[in-house]
Amino acid sequence: MAAYSPLADELHGLLPQTQCTRCGYDGCRPYAEAIAAGVADINRCPPGGETTLQRLAALTGRPAKPLDPECGEAGPPRVALIDPSRCIGCARCLPPCPVDAIVGAQRQLHVVLDDLCTGCELCIAPCPVDCITLVPRAAQAPRSPEPAAADNLRRYDAHRTRRERREAERLALLAERKARAARLSTRGSDGAA
Ligand code: SF4
Ligand code: SF4
């Protein structure tokens, strides 16, 4: 993690917190830090669109040039939609969703909560049956506004904390199993001697 930078903090506050990685960085925070460090340009955030671009330009004093096509296009807000007739309930779409907008259990139908979905697309590639598509938010959820950036960030932090905890638990269990196996094999070789 880069050293603390007040500019990175301010830039981070201007980003939409969709954590979609389309900027080429591992989330909105690393992108903000890269802009502050002068290693990334300000035109790499499609979900933020023209509004975010202008705000980043105003804060950094850099020229607001067109969005980098390498990062994809800005567009109307979209949400993910799971085709219920094809979902096999494998749960592979749950871990990549940075804001926990998908609900479901093993071998059960999974559903996207439109109010929480940021349209980041991160759930699409892991789905083994390609049953997730992105649809215009206006068509799918006309009454639900885009989730606020602050809510996205709160959910992303909770999601990341939980995943880090689970990973730590998994590694601890692995280490414990290895230690037990080593003890058993030592006891076995002592018994044979
Ligand atoms: S449901 Fe899919 S598109 Fe929506 S926020 Fe989660 S990962 Fe992104
Ligand atoms: S990855 Fe696809 S098939 Fe698996 S639970 Fe999610 S939507 Fe259903």
pTM beyond 0.85: the answer is: no
Tokens of 128: 């083994």
Separation CA 88–CA 103 (nearest Å): 14
Q: Which CATH number fits domain 76-142: 3.40.50.10310, 3.30.70.20, 3.90.1170.50, 3.40.50.300?
A: 3.30.70.20
Task: Give percent of the chain with pLDDT exceeding 70.
Answer: 94
Separation CA 110–CA 115 (nearest Å): 15
pLDDT at 139: 77
- Ligand 1 atom index nearest CA of 113: 1
pLDDT at 140: 73
pLDDT band at 188 (very low <50, low <70, confident <90, very high): confident
Ligand 2 center to residue 92 CA distance, Å? 6
**Structural domain boundaries of the chain?**
6-71, 76-142, 144-193
**For range 42-49, the mean pLDDT:** 94
Domain 6-71 shares a fold with domain 76-142: no
Query: Strand 78-82 to strand 132-136: parallel, antiparallel, or no bridges (unpaired)?
Result: antiparallel
> Is 1 a residue whose pLDDT tops 60?
no
Ligand 1 center to residue 9 CA distance, Å? 25
Q: Which string of DSSP letters, residue by residue, matches 83-101?
A: -TTT-----TTTTT-TT--
CATH number of 6-71: 1.10.15.40
> Is 192 a residue whose pLDDT tops 70?
no
Count of beta carbons in the 10 Å neighbourhood of residue 47: 27
Closest C-alpha residue for ligand 1 atom 8: 120
